[in-house]
Amino acid sequence: MQAPGALTAARDGRAARARFAEADAFDRSSFIAADWAALEDMWAAVGRDAGAAQGNGPDGLIDDDVALATPWGFDLATIRCPAILAQGSDDRVIPRQHGEWLAGHIPRAELWLREGAGHVSIMDAIPEAVDRLLELDRIR
């Protein structure tokens, strides 16, 4: 993980994560070349949305990090629907170990580890993932 400080602060709650945000700045090296290319092409709208959200302050990012780093209020083993966990092998924002951990705790999860994909470029797997979920729905 390129910059674990935000999630480390988030584990201590929203106030701690908000304090961290006061001095935090986006680390451009969190994205790999494939991510930057994706933001210039297929996923440009995602980059524009993120930029617009940033202009409204850090609250959304703080809430996301706190939700990710604190207990979710349910047992992952109770998830009964199929789940596709697409994880980029080169994701510097969310390490592959997180996807592997989730896959080990969600009974019907399929982990798709995409070599060479990063945090943004992994979204190229979305159409295939949706097709697979539709297939799994037909099977059951």
pLDDT of residue 35: 98
- pLDDT score of 124: 97
Q: What's residue 4's pLDDT?
A: 81
Q: What is the pLDDT of residues 13-28, one digit of tens each?
A: 999 999 999 998 888 9
pLDDT at residue number 1: 67
Nearest CA to 130 out of 83, 89, 88 is that of 83
pTM of the model: 0.85
Nearest by Cα to 110 from 120, 124, 99: 99
What confidence score (pLDDT) does residue 2 get? Answer: 64
Query: Residue ranges of the chain with pLDDT lower than 50?
Result: none
Query: pLDDT value at position 26?
Result: 85
- For residue 14, the 8-state DSSP code is H
Residue 5 has a pLDDT of: 85
- How far is residue 104 from each of residues 81, 109, 128, 135, measured CA to CA in Å? 15, 8, 22, 22
Spell out the domain ranges in the chain: 5-139
pLDDT of the residue at 62: 92
